[in-house]
Structure formats: structure tokens, C-alpha cells
Structure 1
Amino acid sequence: MEKWLDPQTVAIWILVVLTVIAILAVSFVKLVRINYKRRIEHKLKESRLQLEYQQNLIESGIVVQEEERIRIAADLHDSLIGKLTILRLKNQSEYNFEHMDVLLGEAIDEARRISHDLSPPMLEFIDLHQLLEDIIAPWKKYLKLLFYTDIKTAVVFKQDLKLQIARVLQEIVTNIYKHSGASEVVINLKITNENLILIVTDNGQGFDPVKAKKGIGLKNIELRMLYLRGTYKIKSSKKGSTTIIALNHLHFSN
């Protein structure tokens, strides 16, 4: 009988094979557990980062709200109340109908502007593109603004979405005016059956989006887009900047 056919030798080979299989099985189980553990740790790390990120956005939102209150209070005190005080003094010292009428008109315009900033009028009944046109209208004194629409379907948006998009556009145009040195801004609004896309392009000097993200303005935009479950992207160069806002509007349609 061949030696390898010896029962004892066969038993040894079977034992070796079983041992190897057992080692491979244990190694495979350990590798699976290690991989699973790493995936869990990675997900936990992502969750922690996401929570920290959202916490920072919430804190930024609180700061933005406080700054907005301060700005509105300053508008009331420096602009509207200032004009009314001058009007009162003029009325007490010398009455000039034409001058008084001009001052009253300016005071009414200031009150209307502040009221519009707080809550756009007829928000429930106005279409989104009309609201955005109203939002950018005051800026036409300082910038060449071109507004184009591509509305594929008639959608009745909830007030909340219209207000948030209007605030986002307001923030973008404000940042362009304050920081970019641009003279022209092109705004494109596209609405399809499911998506809403807003693209704002300027011919300014550009900026570093990474550094800009630390500012209150972009954090305010980011906070609003997080609320709307949308996304935004900024492309910037020395020839200008482009901000792209995109979201699925089905959750915010009536």
C-alpha cells in the first residue's frame, strides 16, 4: 500500500486541511469584523462631523438673525426716524409744503422698503419669479441686473420656499455688491416639473469660496439651503463668480 494511502497519513492530511480551512474561516471572520468596525467608526465620525456642522450652522443662523435685527433697528433709527425727526423740526420752524411733501414721500419709501425686507407683500399670491424681480429691483440703482426665466411648468410654490429663495438671492446680490466690485449681474431662474435652479453670475473680481464660507453671508445661504434640502455651488475666478442653487421643489409645492 502506498504511504499516502495509509489511514494515519490521510487522517493527518484531513486534519491539516481542516485546520487550514478553520484558520482561513477565522481570518475571514476577523477581516469582516474589522471592516465592519471600520465602516461603523467611519459612519460615526461622519455623523459627528455632520452634527458639528449643523450645530455651527444653527449658531451662525442665530448670529445672522441678531445681525438682521440690528440692521433693521439701524434702518429704523438712522433712516426712517431721522427723516421723521427732520420733518417734525421743519414743521415747527417753517412750513414749506413742497419740502414737507418730499420728506413725507422719502419717509414712506423708507417704511415701505423696511416692511418689504421684513416680509414681502402679497407673498401668498405672487409668483416666485415676480417676487425675485421685486427683490432685485432696488439694486438696479447700483448694478446692471439682467433677469431671465425658463419656466417649463406652472408650479404653485408654498410661501416658505418663495421666501427662502428670495432671501438667498438677496444675500447673493448683497455679497456681490459689497465684495466683488462687479458692474453686471445675470440671474437665471429655471423651473421644471421637479427641480428649481437659480444661477447668479457676476463680472466681478472673484473671491476664494473656501475663505468666504467662514463669513456670515454664505453661512446664511448654506443654512437656508440645508432647510430646503437643496444644494449650492460657487465657482469663482478673476473674471467673476457664479453661484448655482438647485433643489427638488416637490416638497414645497402646494
Structure 2
Amino acid sequence: MINKIKYSKILVPLIFVFLFSQARAESLDSAFSAIIQVDTSNIKYKKYTIGKKLYQSGEYSKSLKYLLDAINTEKSSSFYNAEIYSLIAGIYFESENYNESINYFKRSLGCFNNNFVDKQITDEDAVLRGNVYLKLSAAYYKINIKDSSIYFLKKIISNNQINTKYRKIEGNAYGNLAAIYISSDSESELVINYLTKAIEIHKQVNNLSSLAASYSNLATIHVKNKDYLKAKYFYNKALEILEDKNDKQSVEYKESLYDNMAWSLYNLKDYTAYEYVTKSYSIRDSLNEKKLKADIKKIQLRHNIDLVKKAEENKRLRLERNNWIIGVVGILVSLLFLYIANLYKLKQKNLRLKLSENELEQQRKLEKLKSDSQAKIINAAIDGKETERKQIAEILHDNVSALLSSANMHLQATQKQFKGDEVPIEIQKSQQIILEASQKIRELSHNLVSSVLLKFGLEYAIKDAAKKYSNSSLRFFTAISNVNRYAQEYEIKIFNIVQELINNILKHSKAEKAYIAMEEEDSMLTIMVKDDGKGFDTNKSKDGIGLNQIRARVDMLNGSFEIESAKNIGTKIIIKVPVVRNQVPKSA
């Protein structure tokens, strides 16, 4: 008979006993009750109270109905909701629907987290949360996700609390950690460390059932290490604690303890092992019968829970359907009233529109006149400015520059009169000043009106400008074809437009490359200026003063102006204007 005992039985004993002894009814008298303040007259509280009493009496499917109604009734304290979620999770745990149990335990935990921000944790709060961690760990272990189970147990022992209720939870957490590591064949030292802490706490809080389970697990470690004498010692200590206990949990413990004690005695050649095997089998027979009944009850419970869930879902769908019907009817009635009201408003609006049509037409004409006038004023100012710049440039180049050259020649003639004598330094300095002034006047003249433009035309002036403004950060490229000489005023206007666009690129685009293309076709001059800079949203950004001036110039030239741009893809501007050629005098 003793030969039938398997070694694997030693690993079964009571290693999971903590995990599931806490996952059931601890929420009934947990710290929730100590901190929840509710209005006992409200509907939610009454449903919650009935659901809790049904839970305590083991009528889980009926309890679930009331608890689901309570959670969906009206808003209340987050801690109050946390207890309801915890009870619902416990019902799913009893029906072995562990995934749904985890879902509701997490909802319960979420209620805690929402209220522990920037708040000192009280003893009651800690016990409340510790209970949920313990149950959540058990549910994860049931679905074989040991990492998550260990995670929540370690959260319990990381929270240093000294009150008795929390210490009981902490002791169970240490015992559960040891149980998990035994099942994973972890190092004995780690398991013994956890069990030692668990035993110490269980003794302090007088948690005898858990103390017995810890002694049993400690014995199991010694069995794995083949130290059967120590194993026998700790199995005996566990049995001494449970000797007079006859509750369901204690009986289940004793069945495993008798079985494991028999194995240890067998290895010690102590044949009193047969007595323990007999005791184990006698308990096991009754347990098997109870387990069969419990399994049948769980199957029935799962079926009843499914019915409750389905009824709750149907109720929710009916409420949603009724709300939809009421909403649709309300919308239809509202639409009818809106339709009638809109008919009346439309009639009134049509009358007002007819009366204001003439006023709007006149307003549009006035706006157009105003816009045309503004464009003419802008262009007149620009034309005046360009004419003035040209006149100043001509005066500087033809008159002032010539006078400075003449003064320099007189000073050179004066130098020759000194022959062998030393020329006064004042004369030399005067020559240097005159040369510097001539250079500055030449540069100023070129800035006012490009001399390249006046002498060689648009093509060379634009290429010169591109070369002038290119640097290591920004390169300008040109592509100019079929561009001839045009009327001088026309060329100045076009060049100034291109120069203004170049200035915009230099100031705002943050580009690395820019392109200037120009081509004449069918007496239309097309100008394209493009860059690879940051661009802008043409739907949101308004044209600046510079672009408005350019648009006004193009309008006065009877041309078109288009902008294509978007953020981070650069800007492209296309201008088309009819060409204006030099008037050739008629021959006599």
C-alpha cells in the first residue's frame, strides 16, 4: 500500500492553501465597512445590502443580480463601488471564471487608485487594498500567470504596516510567495526565508490555519532535500495545530498532511506510515464525495451566472432601446417644430433679402472701387518710388560721381607740382577719402537701380542678383530662356518684384535651395520663384505687406499671381504678366 505513494504527491501538500483560502469571503468583513459612508435610504445601498447577504449565504447567482443592479444604479463613493466590484469578482472566482474575476478585481483596485493620489494612506485603506491584491494574486495563479501573481503579492509585503489586520494579509502573502516558488522548483533558501517570515507573522496574529500550512510547506522543502527527519518534525507541528479542528479547510489540510507524513515515515523506515496512509484515505473518500457535490454546484453556479448576465444584458439593451425610441421621438418632434419655425424664418428672410439685395450690390460696387483705388494708390506709390530711385541713381552716377572723379584728378595734378618734394599727407588722405566716397556712391547707385539691369536687361540682372545673394547656407539657381529686352520701366518693375520675392526667401523661408525661372511665350512673361524652406499654411496665414504689394504690382500689370505652399514643403510663386516692349519710333 505504501508503494503507491508518489513523490509528486509531496509537491501538492499545502503549497497553494494560502492562495485560495483568502480569495473568497474576506471581503465580507474587510476594511471597506470601516471607511464607507453611505446614505442607507438610497436604492443602491439597499441592493448592495441584499446582494452582500446573499453572497454570505452562498447564493451567488442571486447575489450577482443585486450587485450588478447596485453598480449600475447611481453614482456613489468610490470605496463603496470598490467593495461591490470586489464582491462581484469573488462570485466569478467561485464559479471558476477567473478572467472575469480579474477584470472586476482590477475595477475595484481602480477605485482605490483614483482616491489615493496625494493622500496619506490610512490603516483601513491599506487593509482594503491589501485584500484585493491578495485575491487578484490568487486569480492570476489559477490561470497560471505566475509573474502577475507574484507581482501583487510583493506589492503587499512592500507596504510597511503594523496593524493586526494588515499583518495577517502580509503573513498570507509571504506564505503564498513560498507556495508559488515551491511549485516552480526555486531555490530552497528563498522559500525557507519566505516561510520563516510567514510563520513569524502567523504566530503574532494567532492565524493558526495558515501557520499549519506554513509548517507543512516547510516540511515539503525538507522532503525535497531528503531530510525526512526534519520533514516529520514540521508535519507533526502542523498536525498538532489542526488536531481538534474539523472545519472543511482544516480537514482538507489534514488529508494532505497525513499523506505526506506517511511518505516521510516510509523513507525513515518507520512503518507506522501505514496508519497515516489509512487516515489520509479515510478522509479522502469523504472529501471526494464533497468535491463531486461542490463541482456539480459550481457547474450550476456558472449556468446561473450566465443567465444573470444574459438577463442583465437584455435589461440594458431594453433600456437602451427605450432611450433610443424616446430620443428619436423627441428628435422628430423637435425637427417638426424646427421645420415650421424655419419655414416662417425663410419667408421673413426672403423678404429681407429682397430688400437688401440692392444695398448689397451697391456695397459690392463700392468695395470694388475701394479695392481698385487702393491698388492704384499702392502702384502709384511704388511707381513714384521706382522713378525717384532711378533719378537719384542717375544723379549719383552721372553728377556726383563725375564731380568726385574731377576732384581726384585735380589732386593728382597738384601732387606733380611738388616734384621732388614730399607730398603733404593731407593731399594723400584727401585722395583716399574721395576714392572711398566714389566707391560708396557707386554701390548706392547700384542698390537703387541695378546698373546690370539698365545696361544688359532682366536676364543678366536676375543672374547677377542670384549670384550676389547665394552663400554657404542658401544657394539660388536660375533658369531663364527666351527673355529679351523690354521697356525700361517694365524691366524695373519686374526686377523689383523678383527682388522682393528673393528678400522674402532670405528673411522667412529658412531654405537651403531656391530657384528662379523666367520664360516668355506668346507675349506673356512667366516668372516662377520656388524654395525648399519651411513654407506656411495658405488657408490659415494671411499675406504680409510685401506679398500684398507684389500682388498689387502684378494686378496693375494685368497679370496673375498664384501661391502654392504648405508647412515643411516650401513655397512656390507663379506670376504671369503680358510683356511691354520698347516703342519703336515710326520712320518719316
Pick the TM interval, shorter chain.
0.5 to 0.7
Letter of the 1:137 partner, please give it: K
Q: List per-residue Cα deviations over 1:212-238 (Å, max 9, x = no partner).
A: 42x221122112112211111111112
Letter of the 1:235 partner, please give it: E
Hey, what does 1:233 align to over in structure 2?
562
Letter of the 1:150 partner, please give it: S
Report the 3-state secondary structure (helix = DSSP H, G, I; strand = E; otherwise coil) of the residue aligned with 2:558. coil
1:129–1:48 CA distance, 2 compared to 1 (3 A): same
Identity across matched positions, percent: 25
Hey, what does 1:10 align to over in structure 2?
none
1:122–1:149 CA distance, 2 compared to 1 (3 A): closer
- Is contact 1:180–1:207 with CA below 8 Å preserved after alignment? no
* Alignment of structure 1 residues 154-233 onto 2, 5 Å: 155-209=484-538, 211-213=541-543, 215-233=544-562
Is 1:147 equivalent to 2:478 in the alignment? Answer: yes
Letter of the 2:450 partner, please give it: P
Report the 3-state secondary structure (helix = DSSP H, G, I; strand = E; otherwise coil) of the residue aligned with 1:242. strand
Report the 3-state secondary structure (helix = DSSP H, G, I; strand = E; otherwise coil) of the residue aligned with 2:451. coil
CA distance in 2, matches of 1:233, 1:106: 44
Based on CA coordinates, which of the two structures has the bigger radius of gyration?
Answer: 2
Q: How much has 1:202 moved relative to structure 2?
A: 0.3
Give the TM-score normalised by structure 1.
Answer: 0.60
Q: Relative to total residues, which structure has the larger helix share, 1 or 2? A: 2
- Is contact 1:61–1:219 with CA below 8 Å preserved after alignment? no
* Alignment of structure 1 residues 48-87 onto 2, 5 Å: 48-58=366-376
- Is contact 2:509–2:535 with CA below 8 Å preserved after alignment? yes
Letter of the 2:493 partner, please give it: Q
Residue from 448, 460, 465 that aligns with 1:135: 465
Report the 3-state secondary structure (helix = DSSP H, G, I; strand = E; otherwise coil) of the residue aligned with 1:211. coil
CA distance in 2, matches of 1:44, 1:219: 25
Q: How much has 1:62 moved relative to structure 2?
A: 7.8
1:148–1:63 CA distance, 2 compared to 1 (3 A): same
1:47–1:110 CA distance, 2 compared to 1 (3 A): farther
Hey, what does 1:76 align to over in structure 2?
none
CA distance in 2, matches of 1:225, 1:246: 8
CA distance in 1, matches of 2:438, 2:542: 36
- Is contact 1:188–1:198 with CA below 8 Å preserved after alignment? yes
Q: List per-residue Cα deviations over 1:70-109 (Å, max 9, x = no partner).
A: xx9xxxxxxxxxxxxxxxxxxxxx99x9xx97x9887665
Q: How much has 1:58 moved relative to structure 2?
A: 4.9
CA distance in 2, matches of 1:180, 1:106: 35
CA distance in 2, matches of 1:107, 1:190: 39
Q: List per-residue Cα deviations over 1:13-63 (Å, max 9, x = no partner).
A: xxxxxxxxxxxxxxxxxxxxxx9x96x877644432222223444565688
Letter of the 1:173 partner, please give it: I
1:150–1:45 CA distance, 2 compared to 1 (3 A): farther
CA distance in 2, matches of 1:193, 1:242: 23
Report the 3-state secondary structure (helix = DSSP H, G, I; strand = E; otherwise coil) of the residue aligned with 2:470. helix
CA distance in 2, matches of 1:160, 1:57: 18
Q: How much has 1:123 moved relative to structure 2?
A: 4.3
* Alignment of structure 1 residues 11-22 onto 2, 5 Å: none
1:110–1:244 CA distance, 2 compared to 1 (3 A): farther
Hey, what does 1:246 align to over in structure 2?
576
Report the 3-state secondary structure (helix = DSSP H, G, I; strand = E; otherwise coil) of the residue aligned with 2:530. strand
CA distance in 2, matches of 1:62, 1:181: 32
- Is contact 1:156–1:253 with CA below 8 Å preserved after alignment? yes
Q: Relative to total residues, which structure has the larger strand share, 1 or 2? A: 1
- Structure 2: where are the runs of 5+ without partners? 1-353, 393-424, 583-588
Residue from 115, 119, 123 that aligns with 2:445: 115
Report the 3-state secondary structure (helix = DSSP H, G, I; strand = E; otherwise coil) of the residue aligned with 1:148. strand
Letter of the 1:243 partner, please give it: I
1:143–1:192 CA distance, 2 compared to 1 (3 A): same
1:202–1:46 CA distance, 2 compared to 1 (3 A): same
- Is contact 2:466–2:477 with CA below 8 Å preserved after alignment? no
Letter of the 1:253 partner, please give it: R
- Is contact 2:466–2:478 with CA below 8 Å preserved after alignment? no
CA distance in 2, matches of 1:61, 1:248: 17
Hey, what does 1:83 align to over in structure 2?
none
- Is contact 2:514–2:529 with CA below 8 Å preserved after alignment? yes
